[in-house]
Structure 1
Amino acid sequence: MWDVLVAGGGNAALCAAIAARRAGRSVLVVEAAPKFYRGGNTRHTRNMRCAHDAATDTLSGPYPEEEFYDDLLRVTQGNTTPELARMMIAESKPMLDWIQAQGVRFQPSLGGTLSLGRTNSFFLGGGRSMLNALYRTAESLGVEVRYEAEVTGLDLDGPRFRAATVRQDGEDRRIEAKAFVAACGGFESNFDWLKEGWGERAENFLIRGTPYNRGTVTRMLIEQGVMQIGDPTQCHAVAIDARAPRYDGGIITRLDCVVFGIVVNAHAQRFYDEGEDIWPKRYAIWGRLVADQPGQIAWIVFDAPNLEKFMPSLFPAISAPTIPELAQKLGLDPATLEATVSEFNAAVVGGKPFDHTDLDGNRTQGLAIEKTNWAQRIETAPFYAYPVRPGITFTYLGVKVDERARMTMADGTPSDNLFAAGEIMAGNVLGQGYAAGIGMTIGAVFGRIAGTEAAHV
């Protein structure tokens, strides 16, 4: 019998495994993906958001706990569990040092359109490098990892975990453990489940990360009496290049250029304020916004001076010398798009220096949907556009946990040997909305707690 069985292979799972192993417990990690694809969405991440009291070698200034909490309240519109959110933020402060002690390295703070140099620490080499560092540490400590090992069954005795059925090499094996940590992601790759909340619109969604996050363990836990939390339609959904593959396009398909132009739907009409807030705090609303448009597609339209002001997609922008010609390339009505751009241009007040890192107050006046910041006329040829669709990173429906990362049963009692960390319990903190880097914070903080607590069972 193992002391701790961890399901999953990403940031949350590895933090749990390392914490439990450092406490002297035997730990087995079962990862459903092949070794090359190990780590779920951690492979595609770049940074994590942690509170800190002062500037460091890799962060340009302090990020107090209260500011972090205010940012979380703003993006979730208060749809969070305050006690867990505040605990997570407090525990994020020592996490920067702890995770570096596990071999992870950060790079100097970044500028550009991300505006995250003060709040977020960026992994040197990106998410895969960070993940590889955690695996090296885990394996050097004696954690055993099995790949292409999917949990297909759970044996629970009421609130207590007894064993899991794990399928590997075509065979089902029963694995008993004193404690179980579920850190195996959301259900974003399960289109049947997505359709339960979104309907047929989900067919036009693209999955930014792994095709292996199908929510199998989540469903089993809920069916066996663990309390469900979250809305099936709430998720981390951003606007990504519509030409991206259905799965695993990752960060290189994301577009950060909404603030530099306008966004139109299939009717060539704007449908939301492109200048509502600083990009890292509001970028994750655009996946949901596009999901509500006809055909679940939209286009970001801008002009020549803005082409090199943001990180481009893997795919080149579509260009044309005039707006009507651009519309033809996009499959939009030329007259309507030209009218939309002309109306927008005529409404731009502007007058202040353009500053994408701050709310600059350059706005439109007189439109049904105003652009409240960063409004610039789209008037200098050539003109450009990117097609975008909803890109789902991870879902928020999952299992309820307490401050010790213990799963809560449907009757409200905590289990003493069932724990959860990462996307599978993210809905406890993220009822809706998203702020850049917070998914990694949830995974690392609750992963460390889950592993520590599981070691004491």
Structure 2
Amino acid sequence: MHDVIVIGGGNAALCAALTASERGASVLLLEAAPKEWRGGNSQHTRNLRCMHDAPQDVLVDAYSEEEYWQDLLKVTAGKTNEHLARLVIRSTATCRDWMRQHGVNFQPPLSGALHVARTNAFFMGGGKALVNAYFRSAQNLGVEIRYNTKIVNLEIENNTFKAAIAEDGTRFKGASCVLAAGGFESNIDWLKQAWGQNENGEWPAENFVIRGTRFNQGNLLKFMMDHGADIIGDPSQSHCVAVDARAPLYDGGICTRIDCVSLGVVVNKNAERFYDEGEDFWPKRYAIWGRLVAKQPNQIAYSIIDSKSVGRFMPPVFEGTKANTIEELAEKLNLDVSQLKKTIHEYNQACVAGEFNHTVLDNCHTKNLSPAKTHWAVPLNQPPFYAYALRPGITFTYLGLKVEDDAAVRFNDSPSPNLFVAGEMMAGNVLGQGYTAGVGMSIGTTFGRIAGQNAAKAALMQGV
């Protein structure tokens, strides 16, 4: 028997395991994936959104608690718990020293991501390096780690955790437990159920790409829902971005994201625009585009730029479709030629000349065009032209377990004495909808440490 059992192998789970071990608890970490795929979605991450009142090593200028909160409030449209959100925000001001103690290194943002140099601290080597550092530290602290161990059931009596049951029937007994096994984003059947059918009789989720791990099936979340745990969140809401339509079904990660949306126009299969591409800075808006594409016919769209934009965004892993004319581009994309020409012509005519600057909310906008393009609107008139086909890319889902600032799982508003939750399984408390870059890691790090601390405390109190 262990003091603390942690179920999951991503950032939140590792933060919980490390913190519980630091508090003197014996810890068993159970990861569903094999060792080579360990780390959940965290292996695909790049950075952590950080509050800071003055420049800090890789972070420039300042990013106050209030500005962070306002950014989060805007993208969630108010669907967030302010108390928990501010708890996360304040935690990010000090957590990096703890992360460094466990082997995580930081670096300045690479070219193409300089617009978040003030708000986000980038991991040297990316999320994979962070995950590996945490696993090394966990082993050094004596945390026992078991891979290929999918937990499908929990023994819970009077809201108190007793044991975790693996798919093969193995029973893992613990004095306390932290659930950090991710959402249900790789469960296509559940996504279909959540999204339902559209007016055309399509099942949008059939055309989704899963950006992250294939192992987040949501089995523990489903178990807890069936067991009566308090739930929060809309099952159709998620971190959903526009990715290259050629991306693999699972584990495409960051390199399949298309980042040129704000530099050109986006059209659907009918060759029509459907949203303001320049509404706000890309890190604050990239996570709405997957959902926007999901609501288009056949869940497909095309991001179109001209040669002026080449070099102004982080290039994806796949090359775009290239053409010397809009007509040729339409033919290659199998779009209606006359309609695409009309769309681009109307956009070009509506562009108001200004001073283009992609690092600020510039004065390049459209006039008398619907939908408008609010910033960075310059005519597409310099061939060659490039297009990237887009699909909705699901990173993680927001349906989860309701918590307060103790990270305890709740049943009818009553906290469990020894069962806690962190990461994607509770992120919906802070993220009711929308996303801003790096906040998922902020939530996972904050609540992983809280859950680990309180799980250790609950376990060690039983031994007193």
For normalisation by structure 2, the TM-score amounts to 0.96
> 3-state SS of the aligned residue for 1:93?
coil
CA distance in structure 1 between the partners assigned to 2:35 and 2:60 by the alignment: 36
Instruction: Give the counterpart of 1:208 among 204, 207, 211.
Output: 211
Alignment partner, residue 442 of structure 1: 443
Q: Indicate whether 1:253 and 2:281 are aligned.
A: no
Alignment partner, residue 67 of structure 1: 67
Q: Indicate whether 1:323 and 2:320 are aligned.
A: no
CA distance in structure 1 between the partners assigned to 2:335 and 2:92 by the alignment: 46
Alignment partner, residue 81 of structure 2: 81
Alignment partner, residue 284 of structure 2: 281
Instruction: Give the counterpart of 1:378 among 369, 377, 380.
Output: 380
> 3-state SS of the aligned residue for 1:355?
coil
CA distance in structure 2 between the partners assigned to 1:195 and 1:408 by the alignment: 27
Alignment partner, residue 39 of structure 2: 39
CA distance in structure 1 between the partners assigned to 2:18 and 2:393 by the alignment: 31
Alignment of 1:257-272 (within 5 A): 257-272=260-275
How many residues of Structure 1 are paired with residues of Structure 2 in the alignment? 452
Q: Indicate whether 1:408 and 2:405 are aligned.
A: no
CA distance in structure 1 between the partners assigned to 2:340 and 2:226 by the alignment: 49
Residue type at the aligned position of 1:142:
G
Alignment of 1:219-368 (within 5 A): 219-352=222-355, 354-368=356-370
The answer (yes or no) to whether the contact 1:113–1:256 under 8 Å persists in 2 is no
Deviation at 1:110, TM superposition (A): 4.0
The answer (yes or no) to whether the contact 1:48–1:122 under 8 Å persists in 2 is yes
Alignment of 1:98-117 (within 5 A): 98-113=98-113, 115-117=115-117
For normalisation by structure 1, the TM-score amounts to 0.98
Encode CA deviations 1:298-337: one digit per residue, 9 max, x unaligned.
0001101112211111110101110011001011011110
CA distance in structure 2 between the partners assigned to 1:139 and 1:434 by the alignment: 33
CA RMSD of aligned residues (A): 0.9
Q: Indicate whether 1:176 and 2:173 are aligned.
A: yes
CA distance in structure 2 between the partners assigned to 1:396 and 1:224 by the alignment: 19
The answer (yes or no) to whether the contact 2:399–2:428 under 8 Å persists in 1 is yes
Alignment of 1:142-153 (within 5 A): 142-153=142-153
CA distance in structure 2 between the partners assigned to 1:236 and 1:114 by the alignment: 22
Question: Which stretch shows the higher mean deviation, 13-22 or 46-55?
Answer: 46-55
Residue type at the aligned position of 1:324:
E
Q: Indicate whether 1:129 and 2:129 are aligned.
A: yes
Encode CA deviations 1:389-445: one digit per residue, 9 max, x unaligned.
000000000101110111111x11111111000001000000000000000011100
List, as ranges, runs of 4+ consecutive aligned residues in structure 1 with deviation greater than 4 Å.
Answer: none
Alignment partner, residue 193 of structure 1: 190
Deviation at 1:26, TM superposition (A): 0.5
Deviation at 1:221, TM superposition (A): 0.8
5+ residue gaps in structure 1?
A: none
Encode CA deviations 1:276-305: one digit per residue, 9 max, x unaligned.
001101110000000000000000011011
Alignment partner, residue 154 of structure 2: 154
Question: Which stretch shows the higher mean deviation, 361-370 or 202-211?
Answer: 361-370
Encode CA deviations 1:216-268: one digit per residue, 9 max, x unaligned.
00011111121111000100000000000111111110111011100000000
Residue type at the aligned position of 1:152:
V
Residue type at the aligned position of 1:240:
V
CA 378–113 in structure 1, closer or farther in 2 if over 3 Å, else same: farther
Alignment partner, residue 200 of structure 2: none
CA distance in structure 1 between the partners assigned to 2:230 and 2:433 by the alignment: 18
Q: Indicate whether 1:396 and 2:381 are aligned.
A: no
The answer (yes or no) to whether the contact 2:325–2:384 under 8 Å persists in 1 is yes
> 3-state SS of the aligned residue for 2:305?
strand
> 3-state SS of the aligned residue for 1:345?
helix
Encode CA deviations 1:177-220: one digit per residue, 9 max, x unaligned.
11110011110000111111112110000000110000000011
5+ residue gaps in structure 2?
A: 197-202, 459-464
The answer (yes or no) to whether the contact 2:354–2:363 under 8 Å persists in 1 is no
> Percent of aligned pairs with the same residue?
55
Deviation at 1:350, TM superposition (A): 2.4
CA distance in structure 2 between the partners assigned to 1:295 and 1:211 by the alignment: 23
CA distance in structure 1 between the partners assigned to 2:215 and 2:279 by the alignment: 34
Deviation at 1:103, TM superposition (A): 0.9
> 3-state SS of the aligned residue for 1:154?
strand
CA distance in structure 1 between the partners assigned to 2:91 and 2:307 by the alignment: 45
Encode CA deviations 1:120-158: one digit per residue, 9 max, x unaligned.
000001110011000110110000110000101111113
Residue type at the aligned position of 2:391:
R
CA distance in structure 1 between the partners assigned to 2:219 and 2:353 by the alignment: 51
Encode CA deviations 1:341-361: one digit per residue, 9 max, x unaligned.
001000000222x11111102
Deviation at 1:372, TM superposition (A): 0.6
CA distance in structure 2 between the partners assigned to 1:71 and 1:185 by the alignment: 24
